[in-house]
Amino acid sequence: MKKDLIDILDLSTDEINSLIATAEDIIANPDSYATKCERKKLATLFYEPSTRTRLSFESAMYELGGHVIGFSDATNSSVSKGESVADTARTVECFADIIAMRHPKEGAPYVASINCGIPVINAGDGGHNHPTQTLTDLLTIHREMGAFEGLTVGCCGDLKFGRTVHSLISAMSRYEGVRFVLISPEELRIPEHVRTEILDKKGIEYVEVRSLEDAMPQLDILYMTRVQRERFFNEADYIRLKDSYILTPEKLASAKEKMRVLHPLPRVNEISVAVDADPRAAYFRQVHNGKYIRMALILKLLGIE
Ligand code: NCD
């Protein structure tokens, strides 16, 4: 049976550990992976803007010796003629071995996955989930901190629409002793379903707070996010909330020496560029890790050892 990645919980913790181990091995021995995907094709179907996710998928496939087809602007495809996601998926399966899809509608990659016979990877669906960003985040946390257990993870910014945060909380909730500090304005609080279905159900310790400065000293990970302008219903609300949190070197002064700042990127203004030089700023190392974990994921879903 084919395997898709729609939600991060589609992978067991053992499978995640093994993806991390493969990614580490790729980093150490890139040459031994250079022809693993010879004659295989990845289709990147991106109905929403992307830089890192699409390019890291594409460079991952090239580094495995495979090929890439697809679109980065759905208005240039038959989508603009009114084709459904299901029909597009059925079509693409005739040409490719695996699909990575980003879509503004929650659930679209799932619809693709049940309508075609090749693996589908959710590369971000609306304000819902972004499991491959989470794999990237997990590899980064593993490389920077050595383990997941017992970490205090601060998620800051747009916790309502930020799909990366939803998937990260799902994934990190499976590790012993992890607690969350959820830092957001009232209007951008974590959705009810994440609270009840994940945090409360699993009895995970968490607090919801407004002040980044007050939270800072206790954090092991600070996961900053962009206010998701494209998901707001009106511009006035975006303008009122967009500057809620701006991380500066002054605010970092009270953070632990070993704390790490992650951000899925793109950044707008929520991390001042002056923070980039701080060794705790891990967000560009995180981008790099995204390619390796996607290489590991492509191998796994294609069933290549
Ligand atoms: C994120 C996304 O698309 O959800 N970006 C990414 O994939 N690295 C975060 C964002 O757009 O703010």
* Residue nearest ligand 1's atom 6 by CA: 264
Does residue 276 sit in helix, strand or coil? Answer: coil
* Least confident span in 11-25, 70-84, 177-191: 70-84
> How far, in Å, CA of 198 to CA of 211, rounded?
23
pLDDT at 259: 98
Domains of the chain in sequence order: 8-129+290-301 (3.40.50.1370), 131-287 (3.40.50.1370)
Q: What is the pLDDT of residue 76?
A: 85
pLDDT tens profile 73-93:
988 888 889 999 999 999 999
3-state class (DSSP) for residue 199: helix
Please, which pLDDT band fits residue 192 given cuts at 50, 70 and 90?
very high
Could you identify the residue written with the tokens 């009810």? 192
Residue 125, pLDDT above cutoff 90: yes
Amino acid at 77: S
pLDDT number for residue 31: 98
Residues 165 and 194: their CA atoms lie apart, in Å, by 10
Q: 71, 77 in Cβ contact below 8 A?
A: yes
pLDDT of residue 112: 98
Helix axes 13-28, 131-145, angle to 10 degrees: 70
Centre of ligand 1 from the C-alpha of residue 172, in Å: 18
Distance 164 CA to ligand 1 centre (A): 7
Give the global pTM. Answer: 0.97
Distance from the alpha carbon of residue 234 to the mean position of ligand 1, in angstroms: 20
User: In this predicted structure, what is the pLDDT of residue 24?
Assistant: 98
Mutate to test the pocket of ligand 1, among 46, 53, 56, 125 (most ligand atoms within 8 A of CB): 53
| Extended strands (E) in the chain | 41-46, 67-71, 98-103, 120-125, 152-156, 179-183, 206-209, 221-224, 260-262
CA atoms of 169 and 162, how far apart (whole Å) = 11
8 A C-beta contact, residue 61 and residue 37: yes
Neighbours of 237 (CB within 10 A): 14
**Residue 217, class by beta-carbon neighbours within 10 Å (0-12 exposed, 13-18 middle, 19+ buried)?**
exposed
**Eight-state DSSP code of residue 28:** H
Q: Is the peptide bond before 217 cis (omega within 30 degrees of 0)?
A: no
Mean of per-residue pLDDT scores for the chain: 97
The pLDDT of residue 110 is above 90: yes
Phi-psi region of 89 (alpha: psi -120 to 50; beta: other; left: phi over 0): alpha
Q: Rounded CA gap, 181 and 184, in Å?
A: 10
Please identify which residue in the block is written with the tokens 């597009």: 88
Cα(267) to centroid of ligand 1, in Å? 9
